Amino acid sequence: MNIKGKKVLIHGVDITSKIESIYETNFGYRVNFSNGQIGTYNKSDAEVLEVKPFDISEHEFSDNDISLLKLKKRELYLSIKFGSERDNTIAVIDKKDAIAIAKALGVTGEDLL
């Protein structure tokens, strides 16, 4: 089974980034890990979830003074308007910044499903 667009949980823990592939069997799942190990899990221990695709360009920010300029590799470029139209500035947010913001806002893994 192709894991692209899926999240794999074993005993409730997300292992998606640690696996190469997963196969459904009559009794559960066979997991091929990136480090070469193979694991087998009952269906009650493993869960394969569909992940909703997310397109930031379709997101409406809660503040109309913030708009998306571009998403480049792993950086998000935002335009932030201060006062008049001529006072715009650009903020670049990378993955570490986004994680820090998410933690500060109390975002959980479940929020991202």
Q: What is the DSSP string of 7-34?
A: EEEETTEE-GGGEEEEEE-SSEEEEEET
Q: What are the distances in angstroms from CA 31 to CA 24, 40, 52, 91?
A: 9, 6, 22, 41
> What pLDDT score does 41 carry?
94
Domain parsing of the chain, residue ranges: 6-50, 56-105
Whether pLDDT at 113 is above 70:
no
The model's confidence at residue 33, banded by pLDDT at 50, 70 and 90, is: very high
| Alpha helix stretches (DSSP H) within 1-113 | 95-104
How many other C-beta atoms are found inside a 10 Å radius of the C-beta of residue 69?
13
Whether pLDDT at 74 is above 70:
yes
Radius of gyration of the chain (CA): 19
> What pLDDT score does 42 carry?
92
pTM here?
A: 0.49
